[in-house]
Structure 1
Amino acid sequence: MTSSLTDRERVVAWQTQSLLLDYPDDAVRQRLPLLRAAAATLPEAVGSPLLSFCAHVEATPAGTLTADYVATFDHRKRFSLFLTYFRYGDTRKRGMALLRFQQTYRAAGHRIATTELPDHLAVVLEFAATVDPAAGVRLLAEYRASLELLRLGLWEGRSAWSPVLESVSATLPPLGRRDRDIVEQLAASGPPEEDVGLLPYPTNRTPGGASV
């Protein structure tokens, strides 16, 4: 975690990251000046990667960017934005983990759209930024290994969204030994493959439209 990051800077970072990880439609482009201005107020380790990604969005044709988003996050599970997937795959345990996310939101008086799974990184970051930062950072810390796997995958794949995950990681504590062990294990074996559904959660869709 960037030691100089204040509570206010952290929530500004999470809100900016959340919007930049959403499907890059016209609304995201319209917000670019605001997002760029917000990123410019943050410490370099957090803000500079966001400014880099904003420049990429601005320089990339809309159709190219949306196609890249779908190809990256909707068709490649290695780059899943759903945090519980890395640990539980498509198993019943994942369904229970999703329920715990939802219970955390409800305890804070927050409800998300029924079309969104509660572990989508953009949803978690928005919750942490706008509703309950303490509960939000606990969720992010609990799935620190998942975030690291996503960060590494995007970096190795040279994804345009890699800087956004670098920025997210810079708002969190460094990986502990336990999380490093989980990262190594999952990197070697992948998520569990027991395909029994996500009860009590139905299959939902990403902002880009593909199901997970």
Structure 2
Amino acid sequence: MDRSMKALSLVLSYPGEELQHAMPEISAVFAADTRLTGLTRRGLRDLCDMLATGDIYDLQEAYVGLFDRSRTLSLNLFEHVHGESRDRGGAMVSLLETYRAAGFEPATSELPDHLPVLLEFLSTRPAEEANEILADAAHILEALRQRLERRESAYAAAFETLGQLAGARPDDTALAGLLAEPEVDPFDLEALDRVWEESEVTFGPDPNAGCPQVRDMLSRMEAPVSVPLAHGHAAE
């Protein structure tokens, strides 16, 4: 198991008291990973310190403001590829079937493309396969890193880490397209309503729907695994 990938799946999950109590162990995992640069490990240490010592309600409010209210920072990866189109539904169904075929049943209310869920799955895969799958999403991960860095969020370190683990340069055109999307103040409710006023996602039956990067990602997930770790947050 890739312990750093597993640790990243945890620190990118909705923060709770159980996560806070686990932060010393999680921080030690990052500190021991020689694949990461010293600068990246320092950024991860700052993120872990924030999650370990911050007021839990402040941490939860900040998390929701970043990742749940801001569409351009969504941790649901297909959101950045398909938006709310029917293609997203087909890709979602295909991804869930891939998990189940590998013996992995996400014990969470989150969607299958939620990044912490995907990272938990990838933590069980061979390193080369996991890194190639991350490389397929390199433009999304880099866009998230840059947006978080602009907001001076400690979470940017997690995406810097994913970029280093993937070891791939993001596609410049795809990255530019993502970064061209306007960002909305997560506390401007009227602006948020305008952004989300699109067609409702439909989970269509076509498992081959989606872009080539998504199909490439799914094709690499083949061997059966079993990891009974729950992720996600309950409705407040």
* Normalised TM-score (structure 2): 0.73
Q: Could you list the per-position Cα deviations for residues 32-64 of structure 1 after superposition, in whole angstroms to 9, with x for gaps in the alignment? A: 121121111112425332212111223321121
| 1:197 corresponds to | 201
Stretches of structure 2 that go unaligned for 5 or more consecutive residues are 183-194, 206-231
Q: Retained in 2: the 8 A contact 1:141–1:172?
A: yes
Q: Retained in 1: the 8 A contact 2:92–2:203?
A: no
1:17 to 1, 4, 8: 8
Normalized per residue, the structure richer in helix is 1
Over the aligned positions, Cα root-mean-square deviation in angstroms equals 2.6
Once the two structures are TM-superposed, the CA of residue 137 in structure 1 deviates from its matched residue by 3.5
Once the two structures are TM-superposed, the CA of residue 174 in structure 1 deviates from its matched residue by 2.5
1:53 to 43, 47, 53: 47
- The structure having more radius of gyration, on CA atoms, is 2
Do the aligned partners of residues 99 and 115 (structure 1) sit closer, same or farther apart at CA in structure 2, a change above 3 Å counting? Answer: same
Deviant stretches of 4+, over 3 Å: 131-139
| 1:173 corresponds to | 167
**Which amino acid is the alignment partner of residue 67 of structure 2?**
F
Do the aligned partners of residues 194 and 136 (structure 1) sit closer, same or farther apart at CA in structure 2, a change above 3 Å counting? Answer: farther
| 2:17 corresponds to | 26
Structure 2: how far apart are the matches of 1:16 and 1:87?
Answer: 25
Structure 1: how far apart are the matches of 2:180 and 2:78?
Answer: 17
Q: Retained in 2: the 8 A contact 1:74–1:208?
A: no
Residues matched between the structures, number = 195
Structure 2: how far apart are the matches of 1:102 and 1:133?
Answer: 21
Structure 1: how far apart are the matches of 2:125 and 2:204?
Answer: 25
For residues 35-114 of structure 1, the aligned pairs below 5 Å read 35-43=26-34, 44-45=36-37, 46-113=40-107
Do the aligned partners of residues 114 and 160 (structure 1) sit closer, same or farther apart at CA in structure 2, a change above 3 Å counting? Answer: closer
Do the aligned partners of residues 40 and 114 (structure 1) sit closer, same or farther apart at CA in structure 2, a change above 3 Å counting? Answer: closer
Structure 2: how far apart are the matches of 1:98 and 1:158?
Answer: 31
**Which amino acid is the alignment partner of residue 146 of structure 1?**
I
Q: Retained in 2: the 8 A contact 1:81–1:121?
A: yes
Structure 2: how far apart are the matches of 1:126 and 1:64?
Answer: 25
Q: Retained in 1: the 8 A contact 2:140–2:178?
A: no
Structure 2: how far apart are the matches of 1:114 and 1:198?
Answer: 20
Structure 2: how far apart are the matches of 1:36 and 1:189?
Answer: 33
Structure 2: how far apart are the matches of 1:209 and 1:157?
Answer: 26
**Which amino acid is the alignment partner of residue 32 of structure 1?**
M
Structure 2: how far apart are the matches of 1:144 and 1:18?
Answer: 16
Secondary structure of the residue aligned to 1:130 is coil
Q: Does 1:151 align with 2:145?
A: yes
Stretches of structure 1 that go unaligned for 5 or more consecutive residues are 1-7
**Which amino acid is the alignment partner of residue 37 of structure 1?**
A
| 1:184 corresponds to | 176
**Which amino acid is the alignment partner of residue 166 of structure 1?**
E
Secondary structure of the residue aligned to 1:171 is helix
